[in-house]
Structures are given as structure tokens and as C-alpha cells.
């Protein structure tokens, strides 16, 4: 049975929070194993986990308040107004009213590859950047779909949610790195054995579990983070349809952007998750299929077609879009 965009929004939001809780569970399991292996006591996990989380939180606060301007600077974005980009500003104002959002600062990136992203910590401190290629290659309905998608990221607080997940993933990586370095240099094993003489069976098991988790947990947490990113993309697509009442414009925009062969030079691994569509194509040397930040274009298009009550892409249409994103 086809899902309405309200049902898709609810399902994608629920999946995102479940994935966020999964990262918390990975952090808790790693912290408990390392803490028990280090001290021989379950309470030892609390201090180590809290320390890693505080360090990650301090780093996140810097990104929270200054990260958006850094991203815009790295992307060579220039701010525009109604005189320099009248159509873009008009479309943004139209959808801001529909979304009941404050007007964001609007930027253009001089690049022929069509794409866009939103950044900022909340709707009151949001920025929207689009490439010049997006304005040149999309019609108004397609542009509305992309802008609606990016404003939905702002309205849904995706950046704040992603930041929280990023803090947790960073804490997992910090704990794992601390444990592996201490184990490699021998200090961790000596301390564990000195403090756990006589009843070290459980501590030895905890040490082995912690060693396995320290290797696998950062990879698992990163994959969960990417799954969260993909769920938020589905959510923004559905929310864009809610704003524009036109899934076809967004569907066409996805096809145009996926089929475009231009390389977005300013994008990199650190910023690719921000964009409307993955700016690093699969055929590029810098691409990584395992750590994909966006859902496949075919899946996104088929979800939009389901909202319009239309059948999914035909096998030939799906093949034409497969492997381009």
C-alpha cells in the first residue's frame, strides 16, 4: 500500500531516532567493556565513557557555533540578494512562507555541477547554498523541489540531530583509539593484570571483548551515522513534497542532478553529506561505495512516485539512473 508523505515523515523520523539510540548502545557497550577491563569493576565504565563524551562535546560545540561559516568559506560560497539572484530569492521566500521559517542567508557557489546544501545550527541561524549550475540546469518547479528539500533539513533540525549523532560517533572513536593505543604500548595490559590478580577471569574476558569492540565499534558507529544521514534525506524529500505539493518537480531534479557528469570541485569527504545529492560520483577516484552518505537516486525517485500514486520506475528507467549517484 502506498504511503502518504505524512506517513513517510513519521517513519523516517522514527527510524532516525532508533539509529541514534543504536549509536548510544554501541558507545555504552564499548565504555563498559573498556572500563571493566581497566578497573575490574563495572563502575569503571562510567568515568571513561563520560570523559570521552565530554571531549567529543567540546569539539562539537566549536563546530556548532562556527562550523557553518567554515563550510561556506571552504565551498567558496558568496552571499546573494534579490538584485543579484532574483529568481532564487523569490523561490526561497515562497517556500520559507510555506514552511513558516525565518528567511535564511542565501549563497551561490560558482560551479557548473548542479547541487545545493543547507547549514546552520537552527532555523534562526540557517544558510542555503546552491551552485550556479543548479540555477542554469533546473526549471522553476525542479528548483522549488531542491530548495524545499534543503529548507526541510532546516525545519526538521537535521543538522542539530546529525551533530548529536556525530558527537556520539566521535566518542566511540575516541574510546576505541585510547584503548588500542594503551594496549599497543603495554600499559593497559599491565595495569589490568596488576589490579585484577586472583579473580581476573571476568576481567580477561572483558579485555578480549573490549579489544574486539575497539576494532569494530568505530566502523559500526560510522555505518549507523551514514544510515541516519540517509534516513534524513528520505525525510527531507517527503517534507519537500509537503511544502511544494509537487513530487514531480523534485523527481525531475533528482534525475537531472544524477545524470549530470560535471564534477563539483569544492565538495570533499567532509562536506559531501550536506549536499542535496551525493556530489562525489561513483565513477570518481575519491568515491567510496561502502560509506555512501545518500540513498540511491532510484530509491528516492520511487518513494516520490509512491507519494503521487504512480508505479515505480521501469527496469529500463531504473538502469539509466543506477550507479550515477
Report in angstroms the alpha-carbon separations of 94 from 97, 99, 159: 5, 9, 22
Can you read off the three cell numbers belonging to residue 119? Answer: 547549514
Out of 150, 233, 242, 251, pick the active-site residue. Answer: 150
When divided into structural domains, the chain yields a total of 1
Average pLDDT of the chain?
A: 82
> Can you give the residue range of the structural domain that contains 154?
5-321
Residue 306 to residue 300: CA distance in whole angstroms: 10
Q: What is the pLDDT of residue 33?
A: 81
Reference 296, options 312, 311, 278, 280; nearest CA is 278
- For 267-271, what is the mean pLDDT? 77
Backbone angles phi, psi at 264, to 5 degrees: -80, 100
Q: Is the pLDDT score of 291 beyond 70?
A: no
Can you read off the three cell numbers belonging to residue 283? Answer: 565513477
Indicate if 150 belongs to the active site: yes
**Contact of 233 with 87, CB cutoff 8 Å:** no
The three-class DSSP label of residue 172 is: helix
Residue 103 to residue 305: CA distance in whole angstroms: 30
Q: To 5 degrees, how large is the angle CA 105–CA 269–CA 171?
A: 95
Q: What is the pLDDT of residue 1?
A: 47
At 144-180, the pLDDT tens digits run 999 999 999 999 888 777 767 777 777 788 778 878 8
At 48-86, the pLDDT tens digits run 777 767 776 777 777 778 878 888 999 999 999 999 999
Amino acid at each position: 500500500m502506498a504511503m502518504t508523505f505524512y506517513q513517510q515523515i513519521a517513519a523516517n523520523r522514527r527510524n532516525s531516532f532508533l539509529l541514534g539510540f543504536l549509536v548510544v548502545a554501541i558507545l555504552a557497550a564499548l565504555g563498559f567493556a573498556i572500563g571493566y577491563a581497566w578497573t575490574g569493576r563495572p563502575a569503571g565504565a562510567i568515568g571513561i565513557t563520560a570523559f570521552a563524551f565530554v571531549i567529543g562535546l567540546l569539539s562539537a560545540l566549536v563546530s556548532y557555533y562556527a562550523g557553518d561559516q567554515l563550510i561556506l568559506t571552504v565551498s567558496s560560497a558568496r552571499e546573494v540578494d534579490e538584485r543579484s539572484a532574483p529568481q532564487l530569492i523569490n523561490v526561497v521566500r515562497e517556500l520559507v512562507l510555506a514552511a513558516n521559517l525565518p528567511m535564511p542567508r542565501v549563497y551561490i557557489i560558482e560551479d557548473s555541477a548542479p547541487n545545493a546544501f543547507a547549514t546552520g545550527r537552527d532555523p534562526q541561524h540557517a544558510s542555503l547554498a546552491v551552485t550556479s549550475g543548479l540555477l542554469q540546469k533546473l526549471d522553476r518547479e525542479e528548483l522549488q523541489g531542491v530548495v524545499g528539500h534543503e529548507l526541510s533539513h532546516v525545519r526538521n533540525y537535521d543538522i542539530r540531530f546529525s551533530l548529536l549523532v556525530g558527537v556520539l560517533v566521535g566518542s566511540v572513536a575516541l574510546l576505541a583509539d585510547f584503548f588500542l593505543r594503551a594496549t599497543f604500548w603495554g600499559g593497559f595490559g599491565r595495569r589490568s593484570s596488576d589490579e585484577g590478580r586472583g579473580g581476573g577471569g571476568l576481567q580477561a574476558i572483558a579485555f578480549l571483548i573490549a579489544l574486539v569492540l575497539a576494532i569494530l565499534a568505530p566502523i559500526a558507529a560510522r555505518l549507523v551515522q551514514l544510515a541516519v544521514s540517509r534516513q534524513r534525506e528520505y525525510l527531507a524529500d517527503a517534507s519537500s513534497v509537503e511544502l511544494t505539493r509537487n513530487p514531480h518537480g523534485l523527481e525531475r531534479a533528482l534525475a537531472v542532478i544524477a545524470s549530470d557528469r560535471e564534477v563539483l570541485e569544492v565538495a570533499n569527504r567532509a562536506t559531501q553529506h550536506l549536499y542535496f545529492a551525493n556530489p562525489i560520483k561513483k565513477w570518481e577516484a575519491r568515491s567510496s561505495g561502502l560509506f555512501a552518505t545518500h540513498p540511491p537516486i532510484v530509491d528516492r525517485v520511487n518513494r516520490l512516485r509512491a507519494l503521487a500514486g504512480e508505479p515505480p520506475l521501469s527496469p529500463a528507467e531504473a538502469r539509466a539512473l543506477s550507479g550515477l549517484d
